[in-house]
Amino acid sequence: MKISQLADQVRDTPLRDVLTHYGFDVKREGITLRAKTERHNIVITGSRWCDNKANVGGGGAIDLVMHIVGVDFSVACRSLSDEFRPLAAGQANLLFPSSSGCQTAPEKKSFEELIALYAVRDDSNWPVARAYLSETRKIYPAIVDELYAVGSIYANDHLPNPSLVFLHRDPHGKVRGATLRDTRDQSAFRPCLGNKLTAWFAVGNLANAERIVAVESPIDALSYYSLFAGRCDALAAVSVA
């Protein structure tokens, strides 16, 4: 399907649903809706939106996703299609309102399909991702470089703001999932692809660790390991949420 056709199908996705999907707390204020974070102050009126903190505005769901996630037009269209229009690809006439009891359950994409859409490795974007980890998040650079060297973390091909990709491995070392995180510090774009229940992002040697700490996110695992690795005993930090 051409990207222009896909855009026509997803452009009118309710803006409130988009913001809620990306973790915003949306509140009604008269005839408008408002969603505020440290980075954003978004006001919605009908199909129009304005981010008063960024002094940016636009119309429709595609513009909104491009703004809050930092992706280009085609990625925003595909993301909206995957999340809100599961039958859009050639089956638009079979869609039912969400209140209908006749709605067909969407077929979930495989991890391999999701990786191909959202987590394509692009080493030219790695300097931006590395700077985010080591300079913005203060992760010890040697840990960042070691995980990058073994392929546990990398940057994807999103522009202008690449996302970090943290791979989830099962106990046998096979990649089963991934967590993405936008390199803009306050971004709400932190989706998980594939398995996060029996495969995890880990820092340190799980097999030899005397102490294993379970944390919420890969960034937390990196931060904890940077602060405490080597102080008392062999440590591993695991992202389990």
Q: What is the DSSP secondary structure assignment for residue 114, as one 8-state letter?
A: H
Q: What does the alpha-carbon distance between residue 83 and residue 74 come to, in Å, rounded to a whole number?
A: 14
CB-CB neighbours of 125 under 10 Å = 21
Q: Are 213 and 157 in contact (CB under 8 A)?
A: no
Residues of the chain with pLDDT below 70 are: 1, 85-108, 185-189, 230-232, 241
Give pLDDT, residue 92. Answer: 39
Report CA torsion sign: 164, 176, 201, 64: positive
Give pLDDT, residue 237. Answer: 86
Give pLDDT, residue 161. Answer: 79
Give start-end residues of each CATH 3.90.580.10 domain in the chain: 3-107
Is domain 3-107 annotated with CATH 3.30.10.20? no
Region for residue 90 given its phi and psi (left: phi exceeds 0; alpha: psi -120 to 50; beta: otherwise)? left
Give pLDDT, residue 108. Answer: 62
Give pLDDT, residue 87. Answer: 37
